[in-house]
Amino acid sequence: MAEKVPVKTIMAILVENRKETAEKVQKILTGWGCLIKTRLGLHDGVLDNCSDAGLIVLELVGNPEQHKELCDKLNKLPGVKADYMELSFDQK
């Protein structure tokens, strides 16, 4: 029996106008929290100099239909662009 090749799904979310958009993005991510294995949030600046744009990187579990639905919900928000990809190693 062939061993199953592990597949990793990674989603990247660009967020503009973080001050206005972050709460809506957070609400969606909380609702889909069981799919999120790892989350990394990045933005430039600290303290008084925070940038108004950010990047969130997610490692997802679950099935491709769930990943697409989450991505579609995020992309409906103004100022948010989400996309995802699957990564795997081919066994030889």
Please give the pLDDT value at position 58: 98
Please give the pLDDT value at position 1: 58
pTM: 0.86
Does residue 87 register a pLDDT over 70? yes
Q: Where do runs of H (alpha helix) occur along 47-87?
A: 64-75
Q: Which region among 15-29, 35-49, 70-84 has the lowest average model confidence (pLDDT)? A: 35-49
List strands edge to edge, sheet with 7-15: 36-42, 54-60, 7-15, 80-88
What element of type H or E holds 10? strand 7-15
For the stretch 35-69, pLDDT in tens is 999 999 988 776 677 788 899 999 999 999 999 99
Please give the pLDDT value at position 72: 98
Please give the pLDDT value at position 47: 67
Does residue 92 register a pLDDT over 60? no
Q: Where do runs of H (alpha helix) occur along the chain?
A: 18-31, 64-75
What size, in residues, is the chain?
A: 92
